[in-house]
Amino acid sequence: MPLQTDFIVIGSGIAGLRSAIELAAGGARVSVLTKSKASDSNTEWAQGGVAVVLSDDDAAELHEDDTLSAGAGLCDEEAVRVLVNEGTKYIKQLIEWGTEFDREGGKLVFTREAAHSRRRILHARGDSTGKEIVRALIARARQEKGINLSPFADTESLIVRKGRCVGVRFLDPILKAPREIYANAIVMCTGGAGQLYQHSTNPPGATGDGMAMAYFAGAEMADMEFVQFHPTALNLPNAPRFLLSEAMRGEGAVLRNAHGKRFMADYDERLELAPRDIVSRSIVAEMRKTGTRTAFLDITEKSEKFLKERFPKIFQTCKIYGLDISRDFLPVSPASHYTMGGVRTDLWGRTSIEGLYAAGEVTCTGVHGANRLASNSLLEGLVFGARAGEAVLKDVTGFELNESHLKRKEDEDGLFGPASPALDTAVFKRVKRIMWERAGISRSEEPMRRALEEFDQISSANLSLKSRNFVTLATLVINAALWRTESRGGHFRRDFPDRDDAWKFHSVQKSDAPIARSKSVTGFSE
């Protein structure tokens, strides 16, 4: 008898946990499969905060305008309206569930980040906002008897039968063997693919597995060309690219070049608080001008006391590397941070495959357009995680898995490709380097074509499913980046440096069709 439950959620970041809580609140059994510890996710690493309309001088329309403007003409307006209007309700609920955002005199404090017209970013424990949210959500999830959290359960493919997604193949952490688990619906919340690049602010697990699984199951992928590079990752030899939160610039940090000159005025009138794509490219241009590989973030105007309280984690981490943020300029350079593209969903997390839903960074709802506004991602995971859960409950009423869904077909994919950790490590390293050098902050046709040729060569080896997923995802990013012969938001082409509104379309990729264009991301299910 195969393992069976009512619903499966893959991933335990903000979207996965919120969606599991929604599903279980109605009494359903929900298996949450996550490839590492339950608390290990991109959410857990989020420093800056969560954007929400809650302060007296703010309004949903202002948050909407800022999101649309950062998105560089490619946001789905309806998705943005859902985000900013429903965000307030879900954040209030998060507070009721015990999330402790920072307060002064009992009142919530809001910080500012790039491209926000108001101070609207809530934060927790200074710069550990994601960690606090995950803590509160896990505590809330534990109150739901129906939720079964399975850590270290690595999923590598989806089971689709009779056109419906009915289960997941995963590596059972206890049996150390591949298994299948079946359910009435699957909600994919596996996060993004920042690790596609050699330099990333993301945790090691952000390899985009969910995107690849959905793609191979036949789902549509939208806007894969749009990758966000965070301007200020700590740049020290042999150290991971630790994020130096944008909130530091929100609190007054400035960028300096190798000669100590503050340079952002040469690039954008919004200075250090211009949208991330602009700041990232300005840093790269300035590094080139000065013939160096780093720029510097300077927050020495602030007192040690303020910095220790406001950025405790950053303060401590920099100290480990011998840097005192109240005295030293901090070496920084851009690193991949967020994937705006992903599994195409409607406004309720439905994908193009029946039975498969998705929420959070793994998706493309069109909410971020070509460039995500800072601190909108936790809000997206929360709002669309809850909505996906709600939609699943509504859609599957009356549906039951039957024998034909559970029966394995003769020619179905094997459970796992040949596992080969050494080959996986080599493949990941090679792909990440190619992506960084040829499809990163600045792109052009010839290097991207050569990258595709190399991916073809790599794919001709007998790859494990893990490596196959990774190379495929990299190929999807480059396919879309080659296709879009203009520059917009996070996608910059040296050979087509201008924005061209003939390209006000989304890219859509599917395993059995050539790349296509679509006016809206979310409209497909109507």
Which residues are marked as active site?
276
E strands, 173-209, in order = 177-182, 185-188
DSSP H/E element including 338 = strand 330-339
Burial class for 166, CB neighbours closer than 10 Å (0-12, 13-18, 19+): buried
Binders of ligand SIN in range 323-362 (CB under 6 A): 337
48 touches ligand SIN (CB under 6 A): yes
Among 22, 66, 156, 246, binds ligand SIN (CB under 6 A): 246
Nearer to ligand SIN, 34 or 47 (CB): 47
Among 247, 279, 359, 392, binds ligand SIN (CB under 6 A): 247
CB of 17 to ligand SIN, least distance (A): 18
How far is residue 82 CA from its own chain's centroid?
Answer: 19
CB of 493 to ligand SIN, least distance (A): 24
3-state DSSP helix/strand/coil percent for the chain, to nearest 5? 35, 20, 40
Nearer to ligand SIN, 126 or 146 (CB): 126
CB of 387 to ligand SIN, least distance (A): 20
Among 111, 280, 377, 509, binds ligand SIN (CB under 6 A): 377
Number of residues that bind ligand SIN (CB under 6 A): 10
Site string for ligand SIN, 163-202 (x = CB under 6 A): ----------------------------------------
Q: Which of 126, 159, 211 is nearest to 469 (CA)?
A: 211
Number of neighbouring beta carbons within 10 Å of residue 475: 19
66 touches ligand SIN (CB under 6 A): no
275 touches ligand SIN (CB under 6 A): no
277 touches ligand SIN (CB under 6 A): no
245 touches ligand SIN (CB under 6 A): yes
Q: Which of 377, 508, 506 is nearest to 73 (CA)?
A: 506
Taking the C-alpha atoms of residue 142 and residue 138, their distance in angstroms, rounded to an integer, is 6
47 touches ligand SIN (CB under 6 A): yes
Nearer to ligand SIN, 190 or 375 (CB): 375
Taking the C-alpha atoms of residue 346 and residue 363, their distance in angstroms, rounded to an integer, is 10
91 touches ligand SIN (CB under 6 A): no
Taking the C-alpha atoms of residue 83 and residue 392, their distance in angstroms, rounded to an integer, is 19
Taking the C-alpha atoms of residue 451 and residue 518, their distance in angstroms, rounded to an integer, is 26
Taking the C-alpha atoms of residue 398 and residue 417, their distance in angstroms, rounded to an integer, is 36
375 touches ligand SIN (CB under 6 A): yes
List residues near ligand SIN by CB under 6 A: 47-48, 243, 245-247, 337, 374-375, 377
